[in-house]
Each structure stands twice: as structure tokens, then as C-alpha cells.
Amino acid sequence: MSGAWRQALVKLDTKVQSRMSDKLKEKWNHPAGMKTIHFWAPAFKWSLVIAGLSDYFRPPEKLSINQSASLMATGLIWSRYSMVIIPKNWLLFSVNICLGLTGGFQVARILRYQQTQKSIEVEK
């Protein structure tokens, strides 16, 4: 980033912080605060959780077990990672736990549907 842009951003940041309360300044300047990717990446990752929640209204035969299992695994793996890194990123942890739970629920729905279909075929 060029020096002029950097100076303009520093000036804007100083102006914005002059109007903040001390508590908000603390959050703003935190190592995982709103000025960092540590905040924005998890914030946008919530869209995956919302997409998973919207799948609750789809019939289980239209869901992908591979996609749901991938979301579940991703959520569980990254939730562990978010507790190991420094600074601990609680926003990343919360979104990944929700993603893992959403994926796990969808996998359970798919497997339950598949079992039901097998039992219907056996009865025939």
C-alpha cells in the first residue's frame, strides 16, 4: 500500500477512534478485532451456516451427504484450530461449532432417510 493511502487510513482510523467509547476502542484495537481478517473471515463464514440452516427445509433425498459431511468435518477441525492459535478467536470458534453441528444434523437426516428407504425395500 502506498504511503499516501496508509496515511489517509491512519488519519481516518484516528478520527473514528476519537468518537468511540473506551470499551469499543478496546474491541476495535484487539488483535482479533474488527480491523483484522480474524474478524471478517468468520463473519462471512456465517453465510455457510445460514445456507446449511436453509437446507433444513429441503427433503433429505435432495441433500448431498458428501457436502454435509465436508461441512461437518470442516467445522469440527477449524473449531479446534481456533482454540490453538494466538490470539484465541472466539468468533471463529463459534461459527465453526455451528457449522459442524449444522453439517452433522444434515448427515443424520440423510442417513436416517437412507435407512428408512432400505427398510422399505426389505419389506417389499
Contact 91, 32 (CB under 8 A): yes
Residue 1 has what pLDDT? 55
pLDDT band at 80 (very low <50, low <70, confident <90, very high): very high
* Rg value, the chain, Cα: 21
Residue type, 64: S
Contact between residue 64 and residue 121 where contact means Cβ atoms under 8 Å apart: no
d(CA 52, CA 45): 11
pLDDT digits (tens, 9 = 90+) for 52-71: 999 999 999 999 999 999 99
Q: What is the mean pLDDT of the chain?
A: 88
- pTM reported for the whole predicted model: 0.72
Q: Which of 112, 42, 108 lies closest to 75, judged by CA?
A: 42
For residue range 30-51, what is the model confidence (pLDDT) as tens digits? 777 777 777 788 889 999 999 9
- Residues 121 and 68: beta-carbon distance below 8 Å: no
For the stretch 98-119, pLDDT in tens is 999 999 999 999 999 999 999 9
At residue 5, the pLDDT reads 83
Cα torsion through 41, 82, 30, 26, rounded to 10: 110
In the chain, where the domains are located = 1-30, 32-123
CB-based burial, 90-101: b 16+ in 10 Å, e otherwise: ebbbebbbbbbb
In this predicted structure, what is the pLDDT of residue 11? 87
